[in-house]
Amino acid sequence: MVRVGRVLLIALLVTIFVAPTASAGTGTQGRFGKTLGELWTTVLELPGDQNPFDKGDPCVELDQRGARRTTVPFSAAGSTITCEVPLATKIFVTGWTSECSTLESDPYYGADEAALRECARMADSKVEEPIVTVDGRPLKLQEVETPLLNVVMPTGNIFKAIPGTTGQSVGHGWVAQINPLRIGTHTILITTGGINAEKKDITGTNTTTIVVRPSWW
């Protein structure tokens, strides 16, 4: 598959006052690392017509427990998107993330967990920590890694693998989890710089508009 956008920017958002839980995501196996792993597992297991790497919706919902939801605007670097979410939706934010797997070729291939971790770190080694603002206010990110992920390829998967093929993956990135936004329209800007694993300049700005509607809408 064409690898444009395989190393992604994911939009960020926050309430009128910024309120990330700064200590909760520290470390490879921290809560935020696990959530980043849920995101990569979800995306890698989506078929092409539903996958944001292909023709799918870039507004990815990670989980839903009653009225509790986590949504990730998941879009390629330099893109402009809009996501509509109901009130009380939490947003998991990644300013920049890369992943490596046993299903891909270099520079995103690793044969085992140790190699996958090294691959994911190296993919971001020349990426500058993103600068993120939400409605003009800065947001602090945390650098995390995912646990070792086990994925199963669906029909029409983005790797062109035989359906049912299994693989493993590890992701790395700069993330935060944000309290639900108030009803209205919010603008998130993510500015990136540096060089990705494909030796491409990633300098640019990603813009996401989030429209928060009443839950009964």
Q: What is the pLDDT of residues 47-99, one digit of tens each?
A: 989 988 888 888 888 875 554 567 776 776 678 888 888 898 888 888 999 99
Rounded mean pLDDT, 204-215: 88
* Percent of the chain whose predicted confidence (pLDDT) is above 90: 51
Going from N- to C-terminal start, the domains of the chain cover: 9-213
Name the helix (H) or strand (E) containing 122.
Answer: helix 113-123
d(CA 194, CA 196): 7
Sign of the torsion angle spanned by Cα atoms 53, 58, 62, 65 = negative
What secondary structure, in 3-state letters, does 39-67 show? HHHHHHCCCHHHCCCCCCCCEEEEEEECC
Of 130, 129, 182, nearest in space to 18 by CA: 182
pLDDT at 103 over 90: yes
* Confidence at residue 124, expressed as pLDDT on a 0 to 100 scale: 96
pLDDT at 24 over 60: no
Contacts of residue 105, Cβ cutoff 8 Å, sequence gap at least 6? none
d(CA 172, CA 155): 26
* Confidence at residue 179, expressed as pLDDT on a 0 to 100 scale: 83
Angle at 150 between CA 147 and CA 151, to 5 degrees: 130
Of 32, 67, 29, 59, nearest in space to 43 by CA: 59
Of 11, 45, 21, 19, nearest in space to 169 by CA: 45
| Total-model pTM | 0.83
pLDDT digits (tens, 9 = 90+) for 124-171: 999 999 999 889 999 999 999 999 999 999 999 999 999 999 999 999
Name the helix (H) or strand (E) containing 31.
Answer: helix 31-44
